[in-house]
């Protein structure tokens, strides 16, 4: 048997074919002896169909196994967004590897970690923007890119089999207000060096043209705040430091003070001040100052742009915030985009504000928000700079990935590989006859954060909770003697079940009849087996409820032998 050649491979454990929970892995070496580098460790937010779960993260079983074999060399974080770093505190203990990132992302991750009691100490290696780190067989360069959070980086991964550019989240914005610029000279120099493959952001691959600049948004916000007769409240993503800076500058120029509301935002602002990203601005006031400021001398910057029910904006819309209230004629600017899935929550807040007489301005009314991801014109530019042999579209839903793949082909990329979470693609091989293609599957899955613990998405507790939310729960307790005779009356308790069935009969009675009939009809030997009694009663109760109500709730039967 011939020795298997060295290969450079990539797989996504999350973030490909879906939005959020990004986790990519690069492997280098011969099959079964590869060294692995993980890139990003993000979360996504759970849809309402999963009761009691807010946060989803990728299952890292694959990396845990490689760690045990001594093959996991490190984790690199490209930037500080939740879909790239949000799972760090929960999942790092399973990985136990060094974590490489740049200064602002590091400070933000540390601030978040220190905010969680009992969080593990994480061995960070802080690399300067533009710097390099040798991590196992990977020489990693942190390439500055513009994005909607400061300190975002693409990665140049150099290996003995060539250079891969992992773009992370990026756009081209020569005037980003705060943070990195995507440097055309640096990226075309990489193209001159020779790029084997690019693994690239697909978020906006269905949008034509070039994204407007953050500076354009700054101008629009300054005009709105300048013209506002009364109070202005602006809600935006807590991590968008450039946007917060634009709002604060507009406030300063119009003689208004900025009040900052929301814990996530306070945390980011503290880090941004330390990193000198807010130099030249007066300090922000805290929420308790709001009530003392004249109506035309205040701008409130709020969390809650996605309709989060516990965030500042939702509470203000419900007139339920201890410090912040709005009056008719005040303005609320949504300097944000509604993430798909949050539309109902956001609309509810908009309507509540309108009912209060507040003027609401969203991105439908003007350029009050801009995306941090590349549109088609920017993707085309990146392909002109890098001229890669291989393209792998990531960070998107299937439609985004497929549009990006077509664009890459049209841009002259010879090998475009479409993949979904769990596909392992060969990017390069020591055997030049082998093409870039999907060669293996790696195990993938999802973990749910349930209270303080992580459970697999396939865990029975989740399915049970969904059934309970759909059809309630019936509990029955029966005492039996050793001879198999019923002692006393069965006890029945209902949760989430209506009072009456379709014929008007009390469902309590329906269940009681079903329990008694079932016990009467049980043959003697079966009555002496508590498990068999419980099974029969469960079937009888669910059957009777299905006939009378049309639904089968969860049913717990406890048979106690006395």
Q: Cα separation of 496 and 51, whole Å?
A: 14
What is the longest distance spanned by two Cα atoms in the chain?
88
What is the smallest separation between the CB atom of 81 and Zn ion, expressed in angstroms?
A: 4
| Contact between 501 and 508 (Cβ < 8 Å) | no
Q: Cα separation of 105 and 153, whole Å?
A: 10
Q: What is the three-state SS of 324-384?
A: CCCCCCCEEEECCCCCCCCHHHHHHHHHHHHHCCCEEECCCCCCCCCCCCCCHHHHHHHHH
Q: Cα separation of 500 and 178, whole Å?
A: 62
What is the smallest separation between the CB atom of 160 and Zn ion, expressed in angstroms?
A: 30
CB closer to Zn ion, 83 vs 308:
83
CB closer to Zn ion, 34 vs 147:
147
Q: Cα separation of 314 and 316, whole Å?
A: 5
User: Where on the chain is the footprint of Zn ion (CB under 5 A)?
Assistant: 81, 83, 169
What is the smallest separation between the CB atom of 78 and Zn ion, expressed in angstroms?
A: 8
CB closer to Zn ion, 81 vs 527:
81
What is the smallest separation between the CB atom of 415 and Zn ion, expressed in angstroms?
A: 25
CB closer to Zn ion, 81 vs 369:
81
What is the smallest separation between the CB atom of 466 and Zn ion, expressed in angstroms?
A: 28
What is the smallest separation between the CB atom of 40 and Zn ion, expressed in angstroms?
A: 8
CB closer to Zn ion, 299 vs 394:
394
Q: Which residue has the tokens 């119009």?
A: 254
Residues in the chain: 562
What is the smallest separation between the CB atom of 335 and Zn ion, expressed in angstroms?
A: 16
Alpha carbon 29 to chain centroid distance? 31
In b/e form, how buried is each residue of 523-552, taking b as 16+ CB within 10 angstroms?
eeeebbebeebbebbbebbbebbeebbeeb
CB closer to Zn ion, 339 vs 494:
339
Question: Which tokens belong to 4?
Answer: 């298997």
| Contact between 345 and 308 (Cβ < 8 Å) | yes
The sheet carrying 23-29 orders its strands as: 124-126, 99-101, 72-76, 35-39, 23-29, 7-14, 423-429, 437-441
Q: Cα separation of 358 and 224, whole Å?
A: 15
CB closer to Zn ion, 18 vs 83:
83
What is the smallest separation between the CB atom of 152 and Zn ion, expressed in angstroms?
A: 7
What is the smallest separation between the CB atom of 218 and Zn ion, expressed in angstroms?
A: 20
CB closer to Zn ion, 169 vs 257:
169
CB closer to Zn ion, 39 vs 442:
39
């Amino acid at each position: 048997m011939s020795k298997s050649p060295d290969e450079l491979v990539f797989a996504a454990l999350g973030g490909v074919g879906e939005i959020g929970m990004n986790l990519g892995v690069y492997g280098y070496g011969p099959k079964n002896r590869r060294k692995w580098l993980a890139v990003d460790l993000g979360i996504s937010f759970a849809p309402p169909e999963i009761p009691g779960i807010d946060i989803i993260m990728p299952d890292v079983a694959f990396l845990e196994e490689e760690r045990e074999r001594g093959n996991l060399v490190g984790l690199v974080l490209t930037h500080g967004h939740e879909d790239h770093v949000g799972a760090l505190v929960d999942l790092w203990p399973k990985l136990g590897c060094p974590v490489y990132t740049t200064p602002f992302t590091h400070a933000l991750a540390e601030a978040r970690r220190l905010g969680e009691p009992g969080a593990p100490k994480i061995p960070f290696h802080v690399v300067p923007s533009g710097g390099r780190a040798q991590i196992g067989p990977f020489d990693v360069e942190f390439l500055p890119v513009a994005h909607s959070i400061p300190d975002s980086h693409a990665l140049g991964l150099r290996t003995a089999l060539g250079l891969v550019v992992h773009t992370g989240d990026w756009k081209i914005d020569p005037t980003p207000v705060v943070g990195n610029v995507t440097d055309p000279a640096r990226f075309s120099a990489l193209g001159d060096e020779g790029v084997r493959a690019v693994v690239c952001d697909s978020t906006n691959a269905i949008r034509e043209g070039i994204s407007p600049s953050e500076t354009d948004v700054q101008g629009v916000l300054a005009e709105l705040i300048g013209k506002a007769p009364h109070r202005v409240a602006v809600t935006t993503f807590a991590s968008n430091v450039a946007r917060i800076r634009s709002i604060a500058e507009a406030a300063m120029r119009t003689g208004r003070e900025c009040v900052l509301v929301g814990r996530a935002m306070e945390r980011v602002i503290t880090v941004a001040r330390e990193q000198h990203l807010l130099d030249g601005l007066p300090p922000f006031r805290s929420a308790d100052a709001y009530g003392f400021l004249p109506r035309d001398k205040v701008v409130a910057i709020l969390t809650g742009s996605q309709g989060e029910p516990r965030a500042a904006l939702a509470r203000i819309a419900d007139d339920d915030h201890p410090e912040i209230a709005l009056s008719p004629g005040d303005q609320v600017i949504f300097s944000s985009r509604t993430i798909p899935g949050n539309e109902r929550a956001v609309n509810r807040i908009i309507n509540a504000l309108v009912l209060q007489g507040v003027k609401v301005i969203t991105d439908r009314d003007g350029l009050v928000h801009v995306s941090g991801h590349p549109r088609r014109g920017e993707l085309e530019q990146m392909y002109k700079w890098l001229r890669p042999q291989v393209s792998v579209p990531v960070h998107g839903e299937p439609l985004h990935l497929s549009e990006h793949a077509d664009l890459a082909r049209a841009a002259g990329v010879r090998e475009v590989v479409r993949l979904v979470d769990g596909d392992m693609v060969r990017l390069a091989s020591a055997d030049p006859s082998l093409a870039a293609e999907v060669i293996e599957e790696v195990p993938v899955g999802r973990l749910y954060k349930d209270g303080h613990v992580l459970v697999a998405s396939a865990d029975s507790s989740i399915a049970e909770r969904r059934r309970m939310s759909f059809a309630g729960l019936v509990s029955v307790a029966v005492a039996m003697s050793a001879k198999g005779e019923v002692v006393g009356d069965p006890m029945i308790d209902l949760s989430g079940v209506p009072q009456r069935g379709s014929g008007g009969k009390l469902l309590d009675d329906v269940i009681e009849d079903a329990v008694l009939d079932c016990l009467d009809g049980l043959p003697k030997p079966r009555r002496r087996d508590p498990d068999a009694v419980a099974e029969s009663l469960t079937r009888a109760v669910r059957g009777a409820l299905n006939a009378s109500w049309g639904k089968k709730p969860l049913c717990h039967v406890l048979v106690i032998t006395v």
